[in-house]
Structure 1
Amino acid sequence: MGRKRFHPVPVVATDTVIPLHSLDGNHINASILLYCLLRFDDVLDAEKLRAALQKLLDRDGWRKLGARLRINDTGKYEYHIPQAFNDSRPAFTYSHVNHGVPIAEHPAGSQVPSGQPVGDSPSILPAPPEIAKLASPADGPRTLADYVEHDRPQIGLHVVSFADATLVSISGLHTLWDAMGRKEFLLAWIAVLEGREDEVKPFSGFDEDPLRELGSQPSEPFDLVDRRLSMLQLLVYGLRHKFEQVAHDEDAGVICIPAKFLASLRDEAMAELDGFSARAVVKHTPIRSARTVTLFNALSLRGILADELLPSTDAYVANAISGINTILPARDIAERPLGYTAAKIRQTLGTQTTRDQQEACVALMKETFARTGYPALFGDATMQMVLMTNWSKAKFFDLDFSSAVVGRGDAVEIGGDDVARKPGRPTYVQPVSFSDFSTRYAFNVAGKDANGNYWLYGVLRKKTWARMAEALKRGEYC
């Protein structure tokens, strides 16, 4: 498949040019634009947010986040960092809309979830396009071309104010960071917001890639090397995936897993949660019982590499993710107890998350990207993939923007009880993504809110959402 040709903007001779790191600059990352939407049931000072972000991106190292993305003559991605940020070439794009009415009275704002009564069982909420429109200004970026064909900064800050609430959206291509990289950025921003600038971590990897050699000398083969798809299998898989997109309409939705329900699951909660998502897809989408299902979980490498390549004393604001793959026949997911799938996921976690295994996995990732432009996939050509990206460790619901609060909203009620909310903490978190390819059968776990409820965002067939909703009404949760 040929790479799209772009019309680049002229090079500015005074810019500092830096190649993208090895786990950043690939076609998949460049094809995913993500807006991270945070809802606050408080009124935040938008100007204070903007000023603190400006101050952060003026710091040594952190200036890299104000770079412009380019594609050079050899087809490689690189950053061009302005010598100085000013009105004509800002460090980030900023927009602010003030509706001046309570969020419940705004047609789109009223559809953004926040602390609604969820009961004791899972529930499905729509994720209407109106929410996506609130996450971005009307002229906000949607594709890679909006960056490489314009002198657009990598980060966008969009604030939507209501009389009793605030929506804060941070945007960027996946080339810029993963969830934990975004967390490092947000914590540094908050430190500046609170006047704790001396606590901002040093910026790691400004012009050198700490993961450049990762995967260059694996000491053992990857656990699933024999299940890696060949070029022919990748072609068949891609064609089947394309047919799925054309033949069946898709829709986005939000699943709330209440704290009480999650506590009732038998084993380690997150493995059970992943198993719940896989089971929902298999049971409510017509999938042959013998068909292979590959459960892919994105894996942060930061913990594995903390003692050597990515020390926690520094802020690595980039991508440091790999993945684990659990391969099962659909019948096992649909017919065996939920604990079986969860146990298989935990087994995979134990096997594939060692330092040596991830060295081998990254070696396959890098080699396959270099050869095909796409990631290594494991399973078979007719498999159904279910992807899970978990933001729980980033703890976005715990972010403390209280120093920007200038007014409190009404108390949120959960099940009829007033909740003593901490000011300036998000009450809802949702990804809003734009991509060159379908993200169907992909789930994002936004994290756990202050009441212990987990929030999942997913893209499925429209009919699958309907079947799941009917099953929940009947009390069939797994």
Structure 2
Amino acid sequence: MDKDIPSPRRGEMDDDVYPVHLLDNANDYRNLFMSYLFRFKDILDSDKLADSLTKLLEIGDWRKLGGRLRLKEDGQLEIHVSQSFTTQRPAMAFTHDTFSESIETHPLGRGLPQVSGTNSPSVQKLSTDLRPFAGSPSAPKTIKELIDRDAPILSIHVTTFTDSTVVVISWPHVLMDAMGLQALMRNWSLVLNNKAASVSPVLGTQDDILQEADSQIQNNDKRQELAVEKLAPGPLGMAYLVLRFLWLMLWSPGFEERTILLPQRHISQLQAQALGEIAGKDEHEQKPFVSEGDVLAAWAAQILAASQPRGPMTVANFINVRFRLSIFQAAGGEYIQNLLQFVYAPLSLQSLAGPLGPCALSYRKHMAAQSTEEQVLGYLHMQREHVKARKRLRLIFGDAGASMLTVNNLAKIDFFRIVDFAPAVVGEGERLVKGACNGQDASHIKDASHVKQTSRANPPGTIVYYHPLVLNKPSVLTSHFRVLGKDHAGNCWLTGTFPARTWGGFERALESL
């Protein structure tokens, strides 16, 4: 361990103690228990998965993720980690189910989106609640349950079918965001591939990097006005919003979660359309640009707007400050914590009802204005002060009369290529089904080398789909749109939670592509 990195202090039973940093302690994160579901078209050795993850959590300050939560006298959380992991006090909770049938025939497995023959755009309704994939219903799903049971922070549940494996990793949101999970999955893959020497160190486990970043703005005499403050509703607006949320709790329009498959050619078509609609007339002028992410967010906002009473909309988009602050550029390691920011794009009725290009450009301009280093530093300072005073994040911005859409673009995380569990593959399910020996069923075969080889889009040990879940699922009061990223076939996977009537708009939009 680097001598400049503070060592964890000692606590009860000679445990190492890691603090839970200020923003991670916010009630907004305390109230969420997350899971990410990863689907493989391979049969994986669960013992190899468990052993390799344990080895990772024994390296340096990766040990923090193998700890238990404790509540201090002042109400703040901290993490206690034993000096060594044992069967009585393991690094994580690891459970495993095996079914002697295909994933497509199992009642829970067939509830997942269809990933075979996916070369056309589609909207797929989840046919069942996927949370049982995360393990026993009695497993901890709250901070209190974790503390009361002295349970590990991380839990892994593996479900093995005759042709597929589903791996679900669960954790309380106070531990990390999705980029923290990406770091975990990437370094887990390294250990599994016998590359433990290449594992990145975990940084900022004792001293909060955001406190250091915050000191920059406090010492800056020329700090900028925070752009998002211009969108803050006044007292009357806040009162209206409270009444509106109460109404939604009583008269929810009925939100449904579905998955969208959008092949690359259709994304390129949408982006080309948008760029054509905003192209400058003067060839000497700098041409405006909108990214695929901008176009997808605007596309979803326009479809939502068309399915509800006419009016403005505020699009709240997650960004990760790891990519926005210079303090992270030469980090040389992983920050396993929550490093998220909301940026808000108020979209007018005219923008929502007009061409796609100008709507995407308006969205992009609002995102850019709130994402500069100075603005991000100001936002973090505002949130830190708010959490100190009220124990929660300040998240309500925008026109009180506008509808709301939350957007989370996870494409940069690229789980489809980051996860590499190839050494744990004991059978390639896709080939076992498509390339059965002499036409016989080969689902029982453990060694894929005995099976006729057929082409597959993704390398063995990589995922074909993933799905974020909230285990202690709260009431849905606003629409959500999530970009998962592109699989090895170039298909973009999207998920959304929208009123049922909005999904008809998505289906019609896909038919017109």
Give the distance between the partners of 2:153 and 2:41, measured in 1 at CA.
28
Report the secondary structure of 2:171's partner residue. strand
Per-residue deviation, 1:377: 2.4
Report the secondary structure of 1:224's partner residue. helix
Letter in 1 for 2:233: L
Give the distance between the partners of 2:309 and 2:389, measured in 1 at CA.
31
* 2:258 is the alignment partner of 1:257: no
Cα displacement string for residues 272-307 of structure 1 (whole angstroms, at most 9, x for unaligned residues): 0111221222112x2332xx31111111111223x4
Q: Which residue does 1:168 correspond to in 2?
A: 167
Cα gap change, 1:212 to 1:128, in 2 (>3 Å): farther
Cα displacement string for residues 260-280 of structure 1 (whole angstroms, at most 9, x for unaligned residues): 210101242111011122122
* 2:64 is the alignment partner of 1:60: no
* 2:460 is the alignment partner of 1:460: no
Give the distance between the partners of 1:310 and 1:229, measured in 2 at CA.
35
Give the distance between the partners of 2:142 and 2:493, measured in 1 at CA.
26
Scaled by the length of structure 2, the TM-score of the pair is 0.83
* 2:241 is the alignment partner of 1:237: yes
1:44-443 mapped onto 2 (5 Å cutoff): 44-121=44-121, 123-216=122-215, 217=217, 219-230=223-234, 233-248=237-252, 249-265=254-270, 266=272, 267=275, 268-284=291-307, 286-289=308-311, 292-305=312-325, 307-309=326-328, 311-333=330-352, 335-372=353-390, 373-398=392-417, 399-411=419-431, 419-433=456-470, 434-438=472-476, 440-443=478-481
Per-residue deviation, 1:186: 0.8
Q: Which residue does 1:4 correspond to in 2?
A: none
Per-residue deviation, 1:332: 2.2
Give the distance between the partners of 1:85 and 1:387, measured in 2 at CA.
40
Q: Which residue does 2:438 correspond to in 1?
A: none
Cα gap change, 1:197 to 1:275, in 2 (>3 Å): same
Give the distance between the partners of 1:453 and 1:63, measured in 2 at CA.
36
Cα displacement string for residues 2-40 of structure 1 (whole angstroms, at most 9, x for unaligned residues): xxxxxxxxx945333333123312111111211110100
Cα gap change, 1:351 to 1:403, in 2 (>3 Å): same
Cα displacement string for residues 177-223 of structure 1 (whole angstroms, at most 9, x for unaligned residues): 11111111111111111111110011111211111133342621111
Per-residue deviation, 1:470: 5.6
Aligned length: 456
Give the distance between the partners of 2:293 and 2:383, measured in 1 at CA.
25
Give the distance between the partners of 2:420 and 2:339, measured in 1 at CA.
25
Per-residue deviation, 1:156: 0.9
Answer with 1 or 2: which has the greater Rg: 2
8 Å Cα contact 1:364/1:376 also seen in 2: no
State the Cα RMSD in Å.
2.4
Scaled by the length of structure 1, the TM-score of the pair is 0.89
Letter in 2 for 1:258: P
Report the secondary structure of 2:360's partner residue. helix
Cα gap change, 1:231 to 1:401, in 2 (>3 Å): farther
Cα gap change, 1:208 to 1:312, in 2 (>3 Å): closer
8 Å Cα contact 2:39/2:164 also seen in 1: yes
8 Å Cα contact 1:124/1:254 also seen in 2: yes
Give 4+ residue runs of structure 1 displaced > 4 Å after superposition: none
Structure 1 runs not aligned, ≥5 long:
1-10
Cα gap change, 1:420 to 1:253, in 2 (>3 Å): closer
8 Å Cα contact 2:303/2:506 also seen in 1: no
8 Å Cα contact 1:93/1:155 also seen in 2: yes
* 2:491 is the alignment partner of 1:471: no
Q: Which residue does 2:285 correspond to in 1?
A: none
More moved, 128-137 vs 54-63:
128-137
8 Å Cα contact 1:30/1:144 also seen in 2: yes
More moved, 236-245 vs 147-156:
236-245
Give the distance between the partners of 1:238 and 1:77, measured in 2 at CA.
29
Report the secondary structure of 2:33's partner residue. strand
Per-residue deviation, 1:322: 1.3
Give the distance between the partners of 1:18 and 1:420, measured in 2 at CA.
42
Structure 2 runs not aligned, ≥5 long:
1-10, 276-290, 435-453
* 2:489 is the alignment partner of 1:451: yes
8 Å Cα contact 1:101/1:163 also seen in 2: yes
Letter in 2 for 1:422: P
8 Å Cα contact 1:215/1:361 also seen in 2: no
Report the secondary structure of 2:210's partner residue. coil
Per-residue deviation, 1:101: 1.5
Cα gap change, 1:199 to 1:96, in 2 (>3 Å): same
8 Å Cα contact 2:482/2:495 also seen in 1: yes
